[in-house]
């Protein structure tokens, strides 16, 4: 089983390319990363091979006859990986206290215009969903039909 918290920032960068583009060859991943990281294709190939062995990506030969380049694609879900990383961060640094994590992020981050409004919408939506769930339950905690 894959552990999203075991991924390095470089491995996540490679996965982001695959999540954004779908299947890619080593040179395509290297080119996509070139603006931020100047990596040799052999380094990218090593990263992809390791991610393949660990179950984060899979590789296949392309359909074109005579081509030796593998095509790689992510087989882990982006949102599940984000959720796992966020859970790990919350547990490791904030003793599982989500409110402390949110407070830290709001207090220590440079917020973009609209960020606070977006956070407020998420909080309001989460509170409304929680209220609906509570209203769907009777006093004994069982679902009311």
Q: Are residues 65 and 126 in the same domain?
A: no
Report if residue 36 sits inside a domain. Answer: yes
pLDDT tens for the chain, residues 1 to 145: 578 888 999 999 999 999 999 999 999 999 999 989 989 999 999 999 999 999 999 999 877 777 788 999 999 999 999 999 999 999 999 999 999 998 998 888 888 888 889 988 988 998 888 767 666 766 566 655 4
Query: How many structural domains compose the chain?
Result: 2
Q: Does some domain include residue 98?
A: no
d(CA 33, CA 57): 17
Domain range holding 137?
110-145
Q: Distance between CA atoms of 118 and 73, rounded to whole angstroms?
A: 32
């Amino acid at each position: 089983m894959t552990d999203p918290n075991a991924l390095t920032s470089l491995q996540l960068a490679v996965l982001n390319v695959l999540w954004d583009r779908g299947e890619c060859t080593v040179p395509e991943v290297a080119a996509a990363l070139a603006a931020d990281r100047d990596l040799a294709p052999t380094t990218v190939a090593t990263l992809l091979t390791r991610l393949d062995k660990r179950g984060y990506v899979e590789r296949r030969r392309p359909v074109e006859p005579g081509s030796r380049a593998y095509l790689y694609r992510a087989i882990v879900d982006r949102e599940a990986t984000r959720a796992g990383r966020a859970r790990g961060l919350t547990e490791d640094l904030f003793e599982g206290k989500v409110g402390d994590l949110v407070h830290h992020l709001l207090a220590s981050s440079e917020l973009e215009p609209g960020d606070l409004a977006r956070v407020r919408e998420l909080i309001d939506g989460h509170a409304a969903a929680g209220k609906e769930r509570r209203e769907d339950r009777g006093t004994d905690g069982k679902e009311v039909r």
